[in-house]
Amino acid sequence: MAAEQGRVDPMHQFSIEPLFGTENWQIAGYHIPFTNSALWMAITVVVLFIFVQGGLKRQLVPGRWQMAVESMTGFIDSLLAANIGPAGKKYVPYIFSLFMFILFANVLGLLPLGLVGVHPFTFTSHFSVTGVLAIMSFAIVLIVGFWRHGLHFFSLFVPHGTPLWLMWLIPVIELVSFLVRPFSLALRLFVAMMAGHVLLEVLSSFVISSGNSGFGWGAVIGIPSFVLMVAICALEVLVAGIQAYVFALLTSLYLNDAENLH
């Protein structure tokens, strides 16, 4: 759906463009330029690195910054301890990186940097990015499960107390629900971020179009839309946090299945 003249195109913000004259970069015959998506991933990593580096001073009485970083690691630590138990300790680095990466990506994509002419790009609103994150979590679950339990890992598909006459049905359902996990994990984050950004863009197009068509329409439609937009912005900050938390939480639940079977 092409943008018509003078209209706001809500999908334009998701377009991926090569930056810094790298349109013709090729790696092994594939066309791989440095895109705005890659740029914002790099910015996220740098911001995350600075954030964590500020908390590594190891003071006995922590300052504010160290307190912030320690509360984040403590949060992930208690999440894993509650869901996996003592065996969850070794997953703290992975879940912490995953959670903070997604959280920083979501929040950086929401920053109102458009005021100074920089347009933030939320790369978590692309299925290719969230899909890779989900496949990574799923692969770790598979590796840990087969490493620890061998072929006994397949008992995951037969819950305790399944009656024998249901043996033809329950393993199939469990297998499907297991295989659907990476898709649901990736789809949830991707759609939540994309839906929020489309919604903000649509509301902003209401404000702009009604303002352009005169004072009356601007007052009747533009001002309520603008108020709603501010409220939705607050909601989006909440969603950014919740989606990062849900991703980390579900990954730790799946790791619990791999660690302890069920």
Partner 1 sequence: MEPASAKLIGAGLAAIGAGMAAIGVGNVFGSFLESALRNPGAADGQQGRLFIGFAAAELLGLLSFVVAMILIFVA
DSSP-derived 3-state class of residue 262: coil
| Range 126-131, long-range pairs (CB < 8 A, 24+ positions) | 126/14, 126/16, 126/37, 126/190, 127/186, 127/187, 127/190, 129/37, 129/41, 129/190, 130/185, 130/186, 130/187, 130/189, 130/190, 131/182, 131/186, 131/190
* 83 versus 124: smaller Cβ distance to partner 1: 83
Residue numbers of the site for partner 1 (CB under 8 A)?
1, 11, 79, 82-83, 184, 187-188, 191-192, 194-195, 242, 245-246, 249-250, 253
User: Rounded to the nearest 10 degrees, what angle do helices 181-212 and 223-260 cross at?
Assistant: 170
* 14 versus 154: smaller Cβ distance to partner 1: 14
Q: Which of 36, 15, 11, 2 is nearest to 198 (CA)?
A: 11
Q: CA 66 to CA 27: how far, in whole Å?
A: 41
CB of 230 to partner 1, least distance (A): 21
DSSP string, 9-48: -TTGGG---B-TT-TT-EETTEE---BHHHHHHHHHHHHH
* 10 versus 222: smaller Cβ distance to partner 1: 10
CB of 188 to partner 1, least distance (A): 5
CA distances to 33, 78, 113, 115 from 202, in Å: 30, 39, 19, 18
* 159 versus 216: smaller Cβ distance to partner 1: 159
CB of 191 to partner 1, least distance (A): 4
CB of 41 to partner 1, least distance (A): 23
* 55 versus 206: smaller Cβ distance to partner 1: 206
CB of 200 to partner 1, least distance (A): 15
CB of 42 to partner 1, least distance (A): 28
CB of 250 to partner 1, least distance (A): 6
* 149 versus 188: smaller Cβ distance to partner 1: 188
Q: Which of 91, 19, 106, 110 is nearest to 248 (CA)?
A: 91
Q: CA 84 to CA 145: how far, in whole Å?
A: 13
* 169 versus 253: smaller Cβ distance to partner 1: 253
- Look up residue 144 and give its amino acid: V
